[in-house]
Structures are given as C-alpha cells and as structure tokens.
A and B are shown apart, each in its own frame.
Chain A
Amino acid sequence: MADHNKTDTEGKFFSEVLSPSELFAARSRSHKIPVRGQKDFFPNDSDEQRQRLEQSLNEHWSLISEERVERLGNLVKATWLPSEQIVELQSPAGKFWQTMGFSANGKQHLLPEEALYLMECGNLQVFYQNLPLSIQDGYEKFLSSSTVSLQQYQVFGHLKRLGYVVHRFDPSSEPSSYTRQLNLPQSRDRAGKQLKRKRSASPTPTATSSHTEVQERPTADRMEEDECGHECEEDKKPPESPLTASAGTAAAASSDEGRGRTWWMTDDLGERSDHQPASGYSRWHFKSIPFPDLGSRGSSSSCLYPPDPSLLPGSVAVGVCDIAPWRRRINLREVKMSSKDQKREEDKRRRRWDINRDREVRRCRNWAEYQELLARREGRRKGRPAHLWNREVTPLHDPRQPIPTEELLDKMSVIKSTHLLEGASSIKGSDEWRICFNVYQPDTVADFKKSNPGKPYSRMCVCSFDGPVPDLRAIKLLAFQGGDVPVVFAVVDHGDISFYTFKDFHLPTDVFP
C-alpha cells in the first residue's frame, strides 16, 4: 500500500506518503489480521519452506507498512506545548475523555504518553508549529526522562491496548497511612452510609467495646452471678481482675474491629499479648480460658456460673449449675496404704537397686572417677550436663527454665520472617525504585470518574532485565508507597513485558503456648 520513493545517492526527499487514490481506497481495507501458521522445526532447503517463508514475510511487510488513514472528521486536533510538556486539544475530545486527559485554563489537555497512545490508535492528530507530527516525531518529542521513558511508555501502551485505565502515580495525592487508619468516608455515598450504620449499632459484649463499656460489663456479670451465692465470689475474682486490668488496653483495642468472639467472658487478655500478627487471626490464650476444675481436692466451689448468654442458641437460658452431686460421684478419697504396704514399697525400691550391678560404676577404677560419674549423672538429671554447659558454646536454652513453645521456636529461628510493611515506613526513598502508574481494571470504565478514580487495581513499577533485581529494601519501600494496593513489577525486555508481584505469606504455626 505504501508508495515510497527510493532514495537517490543525491539525497532526495524520502517519503512513505499515500496518493489521494490510495487514501480513498483505504476505506475498504480489511480490519482482520491473518492468523500465523504453524512453525517448522528445522530448516531444510526445500522449496516448500522457502515459499512459506516468503509468504510469511510478505504478510509481515504488508501489515507493518500499512499507514494509518482516518477521516478528518474522526480526528481530534491538538497542539504540542514543549514548554509545559503537555498536549492541548483544539477540538472537543472524543470517548477517550472519560478515562484520559485533564482540564486546565479552560482547555482540555492530554499527558504526552496519553497523546502518543491516541496518535498510535489513529484518534488524535497533534500539530507542532502548524505542521502535523508523525508517530516518529511523537516518540522523539514526547518520551524523555522528564516525562515518561520509552520503557515506561511500552508498559503504558501494553496495558492500554488490553483495556486498562492507566494513570500516573503521584505519591503526594495518595492518602497517608494515618488517614487510611481513620477510615474516613470517601466522597462516594456508599462508604458514608456504611460508617453511619456502625456507629449506631448497640454495644455487644465483645472485645470491641470502648472504655466505658468494659466497665459496664463486669457489673452486669456481677449482677448475674449474685444469685449463685457467696462461695462463687472466689472463683469469679480471678476472671474479673484481669478484666479490669485490661480496661486500659481495651481503649487501645477499640480501634481494632472484628476481633474473634471469645467463649468465656474473660477474653480481653487476648489484647495483652504482643505477638498478635498483622494478619489478625484469632488465637486462643489458654491462660485466660478457665476450665472449671471439679476434680482437685482443694477447690471449694460448689457451683458453676452460667455461660455468656450470647453464646447460647436461641432462647435457651441456663441457670447456675450445682456441682455438688457430681463431685460426690467422683471418688476423691485418698488412697491409704496400710503400714505394712508402705514398708513393702520402700523395700522394693531400695533392694532392687544394687549399685554394683551398674556397669558404669564397675568401670570406675577409683573414687575420683566414681565421683565424676555421680556429678555427670547429677548434671544430666538436673538438666545441665557438664559437657554441654562448661564450654564456650552452650545450648540455646536452659531446660530448667520454663518457656512457652512459641517463644522457644522464636529463639531457635535463624531467619526472622517479616511482612512487607514491617518497618517500611522508616525506609528512605530512592530514585532508583519508584512507582510509575496506577492501573484500574477495564470493567470499571463505564462508571469511571477521573476526579475520583477510587482504589487502583495495582501499581506499576517499570524496570528491565538489565537492571538490578529489587532487594527486600526496595520491595518494602514500594509496598509502603503503594499502601494496600499490590505493587507489580513490569520488567521490560526489548519488546517483551513480564509482570511480577510479591505477596505476603505467613507460614502457619500451629503452636499453642
């Protein structure tokens, strides 16, 4: 289709300009791309292969050399303003205005990458000094380090061609983590209504209560339990005191919502623990879940207080449970051995053990060795064998010290796991890694508002295989800048783009302290 004049050695005008007849004939062009056939494995010098290669190449050239031809009425006109590095529209914008461009000084404008993309789509004709710019001019003028680089434009174009809405990322216009924490209603009405509903909800007996509510609950409990008599007071004291102690922490907990419901009324201890992971899954703290002890001889309680009525189904009401009859059924008598039996037990213990039968003792040649043996055994029994503890390298933990399993695992861990946002706020920014674009999904185009685009689908950071791989510091920095929107790395490799993203993963630890 392209009619190009061959270059003379004299140096003449080179052009790929279409004649008016060609321009007119362009309206009946096909809009389909031929499908690529199957490839061959190995080149042999057969005619068939040569023919197919020729055909493929011809197809290739005819597609590539086709020039863009548009009706003048379909083209939006614009001018390039190099001083401001933006494009100003001279005729009204088309459908693209819904997702691209901005208004300034009463006129419509486009960013250089948006203008170049629209030029490539054949929707826009940009003039500079009263002459139309070619696509080549657009690439050379619009893409630079001060606007958008070639690699970034490749990613931009790739995503736009797939239908995504792509905007430049502006870190200053993103809500800070504090405003996000406050969860202020966005300008959309839907979010506002949601918030109102939460505030007017009646307080439920869960951990999400405010400071005053926590104080109310113990009194309510006390009123319920007063029926069961004075002996119950003792039992209830331990559960209650932690409750009041944690009233201070409940204020801190009030900002969190949706903590798991707990079974027994003493549940605020959950907030006290520091290792509440960011993912917020609920854990049982068995210290705070009192299981009634009916079997030990020392306990003097004779009744069980009723469970939290909110945990009971429907309208089931449970009163105080008298445990006296149950305890009678348990045989709580101490086993009493007669004096004869006792003596027999002692003899058995003593006589069975003949020290000379011990092989290790027989190996000792003198008293010194025997004493060493005794010391060793003592150490092993006591949990601190000498050969482990008397050297420079000692065991990590003394088995005589009690330690919950979780802390022990923590002590043993060589690599500490971390979340993407952990410690990320203190990382200083760098020029090397920054987020370029916000990407919004294609199906939101219908009701997309440029003034309030909402939360993006992902954020793009453009890099290439020639450059360094992002280290943990860079990933954390970008994750922090991105907020709660995942950051995707678009790696450009000479025309191919691969997308990578890093996600938080928490290794499950089914460990109860």
Chain B
Amino acid sequence: MDDASASRGESPPPPHVVGVSLCDSAPLLWRMEDLRSVRAQGLVGALLGSLPRTPRQNGRLGRPLLLLPEEERLLREGHAAGALPARRQDGGGAELVVQVEQQQVEQQQEEQQQRSYEEQSVFALEDRKSALLRAMTSSHSGSGSGSESSDEALRSRLEDLDRSFTFPRSALAVQLSTARAGLSYCPEARAFLQADWPIREQNGRGCDARYQVFRDLRGRGFYLTSAGKFGGDFLVYPGDPLRFHAHFIAVCSSLDESVCLLDVLSVARLGSNVKKTVLLCSPGTDGRILYTSLQWSGMV
C-alpha cells in the first residue's frame, strides 16, 4: 500500500498513532485499533483486565493492554504514540461553557437510550412473534388437514401479541463501554502531547541496556515479553507468542558490569529447567549488541 501511494507521488500515510492513557504512571492501551496496530508492529504487551465474556477467570484476560517501558519508548521514538487527553469535566472550575456542554451531552445520552429502547422493543416483539410462529407451526406440522382454522388461530394470537406486548425498561440491553468514547487527536495535538510526556523513573544505565537489546531483537523480528518469573529481563519468541514457545531468556547487562558467577549459575540452571536457552546480552561499543548463550553441558 505504501509503495502504491509512493508511486502515485503522494507521501506515505503517517503510521497510526496509538493513544496511550496513563494509569498510576503505567502506560495502558484501551482502544481496539490501538491494540491491533501495536500487535502488527510486533509488540505484545500484557492484558490486565477481566475478559467481558467470562470475567471470573484468570486464564484469559481482557483490556487494557499494559506496555513494557521499552515498548512504550520504541513507539514514542517512532512517533507512533501520544498521550490521550484525560476525561473532561474533572471536578472544580465549572464554567458556564462547560456546564452547557455537560447538559448537551447528558441530553444526547438520554435521547440515545430512548431510541435504543424503542428499537429494542421492536426487535423483542419480532423475536416473540417468530418464536410463536415456530411453536405453532411445529405443533401443527403433523396434521396436514385443517390448515385454515390453524391459520386463523395463528393470526389472532399474533394480533393479541401486538396489542398486549410490553417491553419492560429493565429488559433494555445496555453497553458498559470498555474504552472511553471521545476525541481522537489530530496531528497538532499529537505533537503537543508528546512534548508533555511525563518523565517516569528510569534506572539509568541498566534501563538503557535493556532498551538497546529490546530494539535490536525486535528489529530482528523476535517478539519479546517480560520474564520476571524466569529470572531474566525478556522472553524471546521466534514468532507471535500466540503460536510459538519462547526460545530464549534474555538477561541484559552493560559490558563493564561484573557478573557474579553464582548469578550465572543460577540463571543457567533455571534456563535448563524450563528448556530455554539463556542469552546474556550487552550493548557493545560500536552500536552492535553482543549476545552470549549459555548451554549446560556435562563433564566430557
């Protein structure tokens, strides 16, 4: 698609910018298109919320998607992420303009719900009618004769239904939105919000090493997730984690940092227990990343 537009002499469309919302200083993604776009760029993230279909289980979780700090930084550096504006009308300073807007929005909401109620009543009535039809025709399917009388009965039943059917308000189906409906940003807003990006705590060099390794591995096509449980920094997948097992546990450190032998032993032991190769990764001096894999071999 990009090539086609380039050949037509147009500039390629800007990459989709995802809207990141900060919750307790953690970067979260809420909107479906943001999640899809981020996955398409090879960033996995972690789902935190309950799954709407079956909320009371921990096997599969739903939105929001939490981004790793490295993922967020990668998006930001690629100009593919911007902070979502916070919800308006946040307490204090109720100006007249805001109040009028507020009333408008409330009114809109009410009208929308009323329309939904009316439409749903129609659906409900149709649903009942078709159910009645099915019930009556199935019961009369055996006897072929006397079709006229059965038609009569059917019509009268349907008319009764039309007259007496009520759709109670309590049966109205209502949506509990996951993501907040609101304005998406335009390019100017994007630039403005990026400058405003709050600087969160960084560990300095350790953090930088992690980011370099992350960027390099992602550039080679690997998918990376967090590996705290495995005693490492990242779990490295050869493809999408939905379909493949992780091959490596990446442990990042800077070149001049000395590593205690006991730490190397423990991480190698852990790796052999979970059947994954341990990768010691360090950003080198020439911009390349140096990788060392650990393999447990016996005494030969």
A and B co-occur in one complex? yes
Across-interface contacts of A65 in B (CB, < 8 A): 32
Question: Which one of A75, A129, A144, A161 contacts B174 once the chains associate, using CB atoms below 8 Å?
Answer: A75
Given contacts A23-B120, A136-B180, contact A29 B244 (CB under 8 A): no
Q: Complex formed: what's the CA distance from A70 to B170 in Å?
A: 10
Which residue in B24, B32, B54, B109 is a CB contact (below 8 Å) of A131? B109
Contact check, B175 vs A68: say whether CB atoms are below 8 A apart.
yes
Q: Are A61 and B32 in contact, with the CB atoms below 8 A?
A: yes
| Interchain CB contact (< 8 A) of A120 among B49, B58, B105 | B49
Residue of B87, B116, B171 touching A140 (CB-CB under 8 A): B87
User: Which parts of A142-178 form the interface with B (CB within 8 Å)?
Assistant: 143-145, 149-150, 154, 157-158, 161-163
Stretch from B139-147, B148-156, B183-191, B278-286 at the A interface = B183-191
9-residue interface stretch from B62-70, B212-220, B291-299: B62-70
Partner of A33 from the list B60, B168, B225 (CB cut-off 8 Å) is: B60
A161-B120 contact in complex given A67-B177, A71-B171, C-beta closer than 8 Å: no
Name A62-80 residues within 8 Å CB distance of B.
63-73, 75
**Residue interface bits A1-12, CB-to-B below 8 A is 1, else 0:** 010101101111
Q: Select the residue from A2, A73, A140 with max chain B CB neighbours within 10 A.
A: A140
Given contacts A125-B174, A161-B55, is CB(A140)–CB(B242) below 8 Å? no
Q: Which of A27, A68, A69, A496 has the most CB of B within 10 A?
A: A68
Question: Min CB distance, A36 to chain B, in Å?
Answer: 8
Q: Tell me if B244 and A73 are in contact (CB < 8 A).
A: no
Contact of B178 with A495 in the complex, beta carbons under 8 Å: no
Complex Cα distance, B21 from A139, in Å, reads 10
Most chain B CB within a 10 A radius of its CB, from A135, A143, A493: A135
**Residue of A with least CB distance to B185:** A11
Residues of A within 8 A of B28 (CB): 136, 139
CB contacts (< 8 Å) of A227 on chain B: these are none
* 16 A-B pairs whose Cβ atoms sit less than 8 Å apart in the complex: A13-B181, A14-B183, A33-B54, A40-B243, A40-B244, A56-B243, A63-B60, A66-B52, A72-B172, A73-B168, A75-B176, A119-B176, A122-B52, A129-B102, A139-B28, A162-B58
A455 proximal to B (CB < 8 A): no
Task: Indicate with 1 or 0, residue by residue over B18-31, a CB within 8 angstroms of chain A CB atoms.
Answer: 00011110101011
* Cβ of A373 under 8 Å from chain B: no
Residues of B within 8 A of A16 (CB): 31-32, 177-179, 181
**Contact between B238 and A43 (Cβ–Cβ < 8 Å)?**
yes
Determine whether A386 belongs to the interface, using a CB cutoff of 8 Å to chain B: no
Query: Which of A15, A75, A117 gathers the greatest number of chain B CB atoms within 10 Å?
Result: A15
Query: Given the complex, which residues of A lie within 8 Å of B189, measured CB to CB?
Result: 11
Query: CA of A56 to CA of B241 in the docked complex: distance in angstroms?
Result: 10
Question: Is A49 in contact with chain B by the CB < 8 A criterion?
Answer: yes
Is B35 part of the contact surface with A, judged by Cβ < 8 Å? Answer: yes
Question: In whole angstroms, what is the CA distance A245 to B123 when docked?
Answer: 92
A178 to chain B, nearest CB (A): 38
CB neighbours (8 Å) of B119 from chain A are 20-21, 24
Known pairs A61-B36, A64-B51; list 18 more (Cβ under 8 Å): A4-B31, A4-B32, A16-B178, A24-B124, A32-B54, A40-B243, A63-B53, A64-B47, A66-B53, A67-B176, A72-B171, A121-B56, A129-B102, A131-B109, A132-B176, A136-B64, A136-B178, A140-B21
Q: Name the CB-closest residue of B to A27.
A: B173
Q: How many residues of A contact B (CB 8 A)?
A: 87
Closest chain A residue to B189 by CB distance?
Answer: A11
Shortest Cβ distance from residue A35 to the other chain B in the assembled complex, whole angstroms? 10
CB distance from B224 to the nearest CB of A (A): 11
Contacts of A145 in B (CB 8 A): 24
Closest to B221 in A: A43
Q: Which residues of B contact A162 (CB under 8 A)?
A: 58
Main secondary structure of the interface of A (DSSP, over half): mixed
Is A409 an interface residue, CB under 8 A from the partner? no
Chain B residue numbers with a CB within 8 Å of A53 are 239-240, 242-243
Per-residue interface assignment for chain B, residues 53 to 89, with 1 indicating a CB less than 8 Å from any chain A CB and 0 otherwise? 1111111111110101000000000000000001101
Q: Name which residue of chain B comes closest to A10, CB basis.
A: B186
Q: Tell me, in angstroms, the Cα distance from A39 to B184 when the chains sit together.
A: 37
Contact of A103 with B by CB under 8 A = no
Whether B254 is near chain A, meaning CB under 8 Å from some CB there, is: no
Known: A53-B242, A495-B46, A495-B47. A72 touches B169 (CB 8 A): yes
Chain B residues with Cβ below 8 Å from A29 are 53
Asked, given contacts A64-B62, A493-B228, A493-B229, whether A13 binds B183 with beta carbons under 8 Å apart, the answer is: yes
Residue B48, interface by CB 8 Å: yes
Residues of A within 8 A of B (CB): 2, 4, 6-7, 9-18, 20-21, 23-24, 26-27, 29-33, 36, 39-43, 49, 52-53, 56-57, 60-61, 63-73, 75, 82, 117, 119-122, 125, 129-132, 134-137, 139-141, 143-145, 149-150, 154, 157-158, 161-163, 464-465, 491, 493-496, 498
CA distance A513 to B105 in the complex (A): 84
Complex Cα spacing A188 to B41, Å: 59
B26 touches A150 (CB 8 A): yes
- Nearest-neighbor residue (CB-CB) of B102 within chain A: A129
B184 surroundings in chain A (CB, below 8 A): 7, 11-14
Cβ–Cβ < 8 Å partners of A69 in chain B = 173-176
Q: Point out which of A31, A64, A491 has the most chain B C-beta atoms below 10 A from its C-beta.
A: A64
Inter-chain CA distance A446–B186, complex, in Å, is 53
Closest Cβ–Cβ distance, residue B119 to chain A (whole Å): 4
Whether A39 lies near B55 (C-beta < 8 A) is: no
Complex Cα–Cα for A384 and B185 (A): 89
Q: Answer yes or no: B111 CB below 8 A from chain A CBs.
A: no
A264 to B182, CA, bound (A): 84
In the complex, what's the smallest C-beta–C-beta distance from B107 to chain A, in angstroms?
Answer: 10
- Which one of B22, B180, B226 contacts A496 once the chains associate, using CB atoms below 8 Å? B226
Are A64 and B35 in contact, CB atoms less than 8 angstroms apart? yes
Q: Please tell me if the beta carbons of A68 and B178 are within 8 angstroms of each other in the complex.
A: yes
Say whether A161 contacts B172, CB under 8 Å. Answer: no
Judging by beta carbons under 8 Å apart, are B23 and A140 in contact? yes
Set of chain A residues within 8 Å of B87, measured between Cβ atoms: 137, 140-141
Most buried by A among B47, B61, B86: B61
